[in-house]
Amino acid sequence: MRVVILEDSQAVSQRAADIICQTVHQQPDCVLGLATGGTPLATYQQLVDRASQGLVSFSQVTTFNLDEYVGLPRQHRQSYWHFMHKNLFELADFNLARCFLPDGLADDLATACDDYERQIAEAGGIELQLLGIGTDGHIAFNEPGSSLGSRTRVKALAEQTRLDNARFFGSMEEVPELAVTMGVGSILASRQVLLLATGSSKADAVEAFIEGPITAAVPASALQLHRSVTVLLDRPAASRLRRLAYYERVEQLQRQLEQCAR
């Protein structure tokens, strides 16, 4: 796991956009896994800016989002379909026919979940999966206790998550109880993972998933088993890491190596 500590959240979004654009440059028809929430917003703005300057094109990219609330119509301001279309897809040159989200309105949710997994496999699997992390250590909506081998399915949101997301809805009562979410196993199947965390509210979860044991109590800790994970943190999110100085030294050496290779 490569742990990169950056000065502030703006540096996190710039570096995240660099990594995503590099993936798209190397493979213009790549498959990206995308996240919603407050954390990736500035990264999406970077991608929109770069696309509008002609520095990158997403026209051949396929995307799969991690999750969607159950029961919210697409046009609901808090549906993840709406979030992605208004904050990214419609602002850059994405082919909307290649932008997929789980269907939280399907009559048969279990079949829709299986279909989603099949669509990802048929697209060739996810090359780069972007993730945020919940204050309770969730990734996507895999709440504490989720099976570390889980695949796309319906999950009940934890009270902490509904409390955290109430800021988008106005009140906790309006936050849906259920979501369709890719599983931890679905995320582990992606070829590269890029996790972003900013702000002191994430510091405990960050310390637990990087330095704690692998446990379903902290679903993000399963990423310790993945061979290609980059974690981008601002200083507040990194503030509880015990091996902070070590990660910084490794990163310095890594940057030197990259410069030597140029």
Q: Can you give the binding site for ligand F6R, defined by CB under 6 A?
A: 35-39, 66-67, 132-134, 138-140
Catalytic pick among 103, 127, 136, 207: 136
Q: Dihedral sign for Cα 143, 152, 92, 232, please.
A: positive
Q: What are the two backbone dihedrals, phi and then psi, of residue 165, each rounded to the nearest 5 degrees? A: -85, -5
* Whether 49 is catalytic: no
| 138 in catalytic set | yes
Q: Report, in Å, the least distance between residue 173 CB and ligand F6R.
A: 19
Identity of the residue, 23 or 39, whose beta carbon is nearer to ligand F6R in the bound complex: 39
Q: How many CB atoms lie within 10 A of CB 246?
A: 11
Contacts of residue 137, defined as CB under 8 A and 6 or more positions apart, other chains included, come to: 144, 205, 208, 209, 217, 218, 219, 220, 221
**Is residue 251 annotated as part of the catalytic site, yes or no?**
no
Pick the catalytic residue from 138, 164, 207, 234.
Answer: 138
Catalytic residue check, 174: no
> Of the candidates 196, 213, 45, 201, which has an alpha carbon nearest to the alpha carbon of residue 133?
196
Beta-bridge partners for 6:
234
**Which CB atom, from 60 or from 147, has the smaller least distance to ligand F6R?**
147
Q: How far is the CB of 65 from ligand F6R (least distance, A)?
A: 7
User: Which residue lies nearer to ligand F6R by CB, 91 or 250?
Assistant: 91
Question: How near is the Cβ of 192 to ligand F6R at its closest, in Å?
Answer: 17
Take residue 89 and report the two structure tokens written for it.
Answer: 């897809």
> Active-site residues: which are they?
67, 136, 138, 143
